[in-house]
Amino acid sequence: MAEDSHPTYLSPSELGTKDYWETYYARTLAHIAKTQDETTSPADEGKEDSDINEEDDPGTSWFSEHNAPEKVLRFLKARTFPLSPRNTLRQQERRSTTPNTQPSILDLGTGNGSMLALMRKKGGFTGPMVGVDYSAQSIELARGLQKTRGHSAYHTESEDEEDEQEDGEEEKGYVDAEKEADQEVVEVSVGAHGAAPIRFEEWDILGSKAMLSPSGMAVQVPEGEERLPWFPYEEGGFDIVLDKGTFDAISLASDAKETRVCERYPDIVRRLIKAGGVLGCYEL
């Protein structure tokens, strides 16, 4: 392959438009309002279920048909990942006078916020969490589901155990070790350490003019510069930044300019991550 060759751009798709996602999440919000306002008789239950599109289900998660959220969580909470709660919480316990310094997490293109809920409930991550999306309808949905604990991650422990038993992708010994460690992490996460609230904010990663951290180090925003109220300027960025399909959508955007919008993405994302932080970019 020639050194100056470039991967072929993806063909534009409606999945790369803001209108598509606003409509998608507006439909989900409408479905929630409908199910809350209407009382369905037993005779009509089957009919209503058949009329509901899977996309309207608020519990529908990113790439759920591929078990993507669980696979990402398994990686993030493994002992081999330095920022896993299995490592950071133990370090904090050894320094009993140290305040909660658990990793901060930014979820790009948060959608309904299900990934952050999963990380909080089943992953044991107790640090600050922020989910951003350029769709206002997405943020409304994520805030509503978090307030009502409507995410599937907040199911009972018995339901969680059933889900784990159905996951046959890992060897039994590894799964048993995962379960044992999960119990340990959850006990810590709901204990004295507490957990920072999950915050959801509307933000357009490509359209924002707000200042970020150019070096991953602490930065002071000059007077008159636009700043983001949720960005940890004093820390230089987030410890963990997750992208679960956002770059996919950006790459599908239609852009008549010489430079495709997807080419601007890397430089912006690097300014969201603190020095020594991690970017997890999971695309299909």
Q: Identify the band that residue 233 occupies on the pLDDT scale cut at 50, 70 and 90.
A: very high
List pLDDT tens digits, range 7-35: 676 677 777 788 888 998 999 898 888 87
Answer whether residue 52 is part of any domain. Answer: no
The pLDDT of residue 153 is 77
Per the prediction, the chain carries an average pLDDT of: 76
Give me the percent of the chain exceeding a pLDDT of 70: 65
Answer whether residue 4 is part of any domain. Answer: no
* Whole-Å CA distances, 59 to 81, 140, 142: 28, 14, 11
Range of the domain at 276: 67-282
How many residues can be counted in the chain? Answer: 284
CB contact at 8 A, 204 and 135: no
Tell me, what CATH number does 264's domain have?
3.40.50.150
| Residue in this structure with the two tokens 């990686």, named with its chain if needed | 75
Q: What is the mean pLDDT of residues 218-243?
A: 96
Answer whether residue 217 is part of any domain. Answer: yes
The pLDDT of residue 178 is 43
Q: Residue 58: CA atoms inside 13 Å, Cβ hemisphere, count?
A: 26
The pLDDT of residue 272 is 97
CB within 8 Å of 177: residues ≥ 6 apart: none
List pLDDT tens digits, range 169-215: 433 433 333 444 444 433 333 333 467 789 999 999 988 999 999 99
Taking the chain, what is the end-to-end CA distance rounded to the nearest angstrom? 24
The larger pLDDT score, comparing residue 236 to residue 172, is at 236
The pLDDT of residue 54 is 44
CB contact at 8 A, 58 and 150: yes
List pLDDT tens digits, range 144-174: 999 888 777 776 454 444 444 434 443 343 3
Q: How far apart are CA 47 and CA 189, in angstroms?
A: 42
Q: How far apart are CA 188 and CA 105, in angstroms?
A: 18
Q: Identify the band that residue 140 occupies on the pLDDT scale cut at 50, 70 and 90.
A: very high
The pLDDT of residue 63 is 65
The pLDDT of residue 281 is 86
| Token code pair at residue 167 | 């996951």
List pLDDT tens digits, range 48-75: 443 434 444 554 565 666 678 888 999 9
Answer whether residue 55 is part of any domain. Answer: no
How deeply is 99 buried, as exposed, middle or buried, from its count of CB atoms within 10 A (0-12, 13-18, 19+)? exposed
Answer whether residue 31 is part of any domain. Answer: no
Answer whether residue 126 is part of any domain. Answer: yes
List pLDDT tens digits, range 91-127: 666 555 455 578 999 999 999 999 999 999 999 999 9
CB within 8 Å of 18: residues ≥ 6 apart: 134, 135
Residue 239 reports pLDDT greater than 50:
yes
Compute and round to an integer the Cα radius of gyration of the chain: 20
How many domains in the chain? 1
The pLDDT of residue 183 is 42
| Residue in this structure with the two tokens 């008549």, named with its chain if needed | 256
List pLDDT tens digits, range 122-137: 999 999 999 999 999 9
| Token code pair at residue 196 | 């920072």
List pLDDT tens digits, range 68-88: 888 899 999 999 999 999 998
The pLDDT of residue 105 is 97
Strand residues in the chain grouped as ranges (E): 105-108, 129-133, 198-202, 238-244, 273-282
pTM of whole model > 0.85? no
Q: Residue 127: CA atoms inside 13 Å, Cβ hemisphere, count?
A: 18
Answer whether residue 256 is part of any domain. Answer: yes
Q: How far apart are CA 106 and CA 58, in angstroms?
A: 21
DSSP summary character for residue 214: S
DSSP summary character for residue 89: H
CB contact at 8 A, 272 and 106: yes
The pLDDT of residue 257 is 54
The larger pLDDT score, comparing residue 224 to residue 195, is at 224
| Residue in this structure with the two tokens 């490509």, named with its chain if needed | 206
| Token code pair at residue 108 | 């790009």
Answer whether residue 3 is part of any domain. Answer: no
The pLDDT of residue 214 is 94
Q: What are phi and psi of 276, to 5 degrees?
A: 85, 0
